[in-house]
A and B are shown apart, each in its own frame.
Chain A
Amino acid sequence: MDIEKYITSGILELYVAGTLSEQENLEVVALAAEHPEIKKEIESIEASILALSKATSPKRSANKGFNDIQNRIQNATKVIPITKKDTNWSSYLGWAAAIILAVGFDYMYKQNNALKSEINIASQNNELLEQQIEDANSSLEKSQELLTTIRDKDIQVVALGGQAVSPTSYAKAYWNKREQKVFIDAQGLPEPPDGMVYQVWSLKLDPLTPTSMGLLEGFITDENKVFALANPNASEAFGITLEPAGGSKSPNLEQLYTLGAVSS
């Protein structure tokens, strides 16, 4: 390699300026280590820049010397705990914000839940009211149906009078022969004792032949005490006896509460 040519190429001046590529830099460093004249040239170039830059130096204040540098370095290391404090302070703020947020969320959540349960209660009340209205409606319907039934022109009304066991008892039978149905209005009967049930009988009088028409089940809970029973028989009279639960095959006439003959 022509060292002289390398020196005069101007690359060493750029090396001192610090504008060479990394590759070129490494080349210069390697050649300078190998060739003392290159190293000497670099130092001379640097010296000229040092002279120039020194001449442009501001008038240095006495308090801006190396002591100031040392103070700055110490302060810089001292600054660390201060910034740490700052970080802590801001992290406290962060935590505080997070806690406030969490409390806020909790409050909102509870509020939301309370509102939800209020809505629940309200909607339950609503359902209850709707049920009551429906019940009232259906009970009205039933009453109207009942009324329509007993007003039917085909209905024959049979009054059943109280018998020896219970003279004050009374009942009525509304018999629709065409539809073979009997409605027993048992409003006038006392509540049957536990384990006993009223049984309705269709009677033929000559000879006396009782045929069970059915039981007045659920007597106590039935609101209007009107019971619909099928009656395909050619009844001449209706009787109601008190029988053990489940009913009997033939009536216990000692417990005959009411009896009434069908007027022909």
Chain B
Amino acid sequence: MELEVLVENFRNKDSNAFEKLYEMYSDNICGVINSIVKNSDIAQEICQDVFVKAWKNSESYNASKGRFFTWMLNIARNAAIDEVRSKSHKNSKQNLSSDFFVNILEDKNDLNNQVDTIGIKNLLTNLKDKCVQIIQLLYFQGYTQKEAAEELSIPVGTVKTRNRSCISQIRGNLSV
């Protein structure tokens, strides 16, 4: 089924469509959350909550405002950031490790965890640190172009072009 049709059915509270979308995107959404909270158990918990929240607010999704994945991404980031800012999370000492999603990827390699077929090494081939940083900020942490520019001390216009070239790099690695 076409994504557009699935999403439209989901908006109309079709639970079959919702299940398909869950299967399509739950790993990604959980991954984004995991990159922020840096704790598998907490990440899974929040991830499930995020999908429940999405279902409850399904009618509020509007295709004219962006991609379904982008909408989910936004809900997930907010939920994860709320968790990180919460007292209970600050009190737990499990978030001392990595700052960037890349570290999670590398940790996974180190631990010889079962990883997806994609091949993470390929995915990250030649990816520079500044690409990791900018992708982290824009996609995983929801920074605006302006906020990212301030964070990285680069001109606003550079954010757009640098991000473009970094994503292109990944796209190239994907198709290899």
Contacts and interface: CB of A to CB of B under 8 A. Distances in A.
B116 to A, nearest CB: 6
Q: Is the interface of A mostly helix, strand, loop or mixed?
A: helix
A50 B30 contact: no
B171 interface: yes
Contact of A52 (B19, B55, B139): B139
Interface residues of A, number: 42
A9 B160 contact: yes
A66 B138 CA distance: 28
A233 interface: no
Contacts of B6: none
Interface in B38-72: 40-41, 43-45, 47-49, 51-52, 55-56, 63-67, 69-71
A70 B164 CA distance: 38
Contacts of B170: 48, 51-52
Interface in B150-172: 160-161, 163-164, 167, 170-171
B32 A56 contact: yes
Contact of A48 (B19, B138, B171): B171
Interface string A40-70: 0010111111111111111111001010111
A14 interface: yes
Contacts of B65: 22, 25-26, 29
A73 B52 contact: yes
A55 B51 contact: no
A83 to B, nearest CB: 15
Given A8-B164, A16-B70, A25-B65, A54 B55 contact: no
A70 to B, nearest CB: 7
A105 B29 CA distance: 58
Nearest to A47: B174
Nearest to B72: A18
Given A17-B70, A45-B171, A69 B22 contact: yes
Contacts of B167: 13, 45, 48-49
Given A17-B138, A73-B52, A10 B161 contact: yes
Given A51-B123, A57-B27, 9 more contacts: A9-B160, A17-B138, A25-B65, A54-B31, A64-B45, A66-B19, A69-B48, A73-B52, A76-B52
Q: Which 10 residue pairs spanning A and B have beta carbons closest together?
A: A58-B40, A10-B164, A10-B160, A57-B31, A56-B31, A53-B31, A53-B28, A18-B70, A57-B27, A48-B170
